[in-house]
Amino acid sequence: MDLRHLRYFVAVAEESHFGRAAKRLHVSQPPVSLAIREMETELGLLLFERTSRRTALTPVGQELLRDARAVLARLDAMQEHARRAATGQIGSLALGFISLANYSFLPSTYQRFNEAFPSIKISLSESTSDVILAELEKGTLDIGYVFAPVASPALAYRPLLRERLIVALPESHPLAARDRIQMKSLADENFLIFPRQFSPLVFDTIVGFCAQHGFSPRIAQEARQMQTIVSLVSGGSGIALVPDCLRHLKRDGVVYRPLAGSAPNIETGIAWRKLDDSRIVRAFLDHLPRPGKADTGRQGLRDDLPPPAATTSLPLEEM
């Protein structure tokens, strides 16, 4: 007995007529009659009472009809499930992100994507750029929001945001009363900083900027998460240069001030495997923020981002 037998059986049962069932199935009548006889022979049971005037289910046939309908409904559901999976409407997405994503694009992008694809399960994993990039290469993550640059030849990268560094200060600090902070006024401060091994670009940018102003930063503490750095600032352990989006991290005892003059930028973006042709990954990339969608209330989102398959890192507009 196969699925064809079940479909023919259900059609005959619902039409109560072999000819009408054959017409509904778009076949001639003999194959339908043969399929029913094969079912009855295999089961050793009579499924229909046949007369010259009517075709009616036997009690056994009525029981089998319920089971046959359930089997066919489950098959139809399975086929629909497979179709939706193939078109990216259902499935899963593993997303790794650095903490800055919480204060920039992630909440609004997640909401938009979830509304468009409610059947896709997103698993979120907060980590550092080095770990996220390694997990992407291994295939345990699908997409990663990381600090630039992304040097792996196996990964594509799409820049999202370039932000100026600002200063996070304890609110009791004498410099907190100023509207803008001169970099040279930080020469004697204790710096709280992101470790170089987790993001060489962030570390080198901060240290290099200090060098441009004639001093080497006195590093009091390194921390792997920006939230930790801001928490240490609130406790009076030092000051920190952080990307502008950290303003959205409201922490008692901390104030944020722009630097006077030109300040360096920190770039962040999205990485994924070049050979990943997942429709879900493509759909998520399509839902990333664009100008005109005020995800953070700040400037800096690109209007000319490369298409999902691109690996270019075209220069971002200065903020």
Q: What is the DSSP string of 139-182?
A: TS-SEEEEESP---TTEEEEEEEEEEEEEEEETTSGGGGSSSB-
Looking at domain 163-265, its CATH architecture is 3-Layer(aba) Sandwich (3.40)
**Are the beta carbons of 169 and 253 closer than 8 angstroms?**
no
DSSP symbols for 291-310? TTS-SSSSS---SSPPPTT-
pTM across the whole model: 0.64
| In contact, 240 and 168? CB cutoff 8 Å | yes
- The residues of the chain scoring below 50 in pLDDT are 291-319
Q: For domain 91-160+266-286, is the CATH number 3.40.190.10? A: yes
List the Cα angle 240/144/117 in 5-degree steps: 125
The two structure tokens encoding residue 84: 């939706």
Segments making up each domain of the chain, as ranges:
3-86, 91-160+266-286, 163-265
The angle formed by the CA atoms of residues 78, 82 and 86, to the nearest 5 degrees, is 170
What sections of the chain are H helices per DSSP?
3-15, 18-25, 29-43, 59-86, 106-116, 129-138, 200-212, 226-234, 279-286
Going by C-alpha positions, the residue among 213, 222, 224, 205 that lies closest to residue 188 is 213
Q: Which CATH class is domain 3-86?
A: mainly alpha
How high is the pLDDT of residue 290? 61
Nearest to 280 by CA among 88, 37, 83: 88
Residues 266-310 have pLDDT tens digits of: 999 999 999 988 888 988 998 887 633 334 433 333 333 333 333
| The token pair that represents 303 in the structure block | 């209007």
Q: Return the bridge partners of 125, or none.
A: 96
Q: Do domains 91-160+266-286 and 163-265 have the same CATH topology?
A: yes
- Distance from C-alpha of 249 to C-alpha of 254, rounded to nearest angstrom: 10
Q: Give the sign of the dihedral formed by CA 175, CA 176, CA 182, CA 185.
A: positive
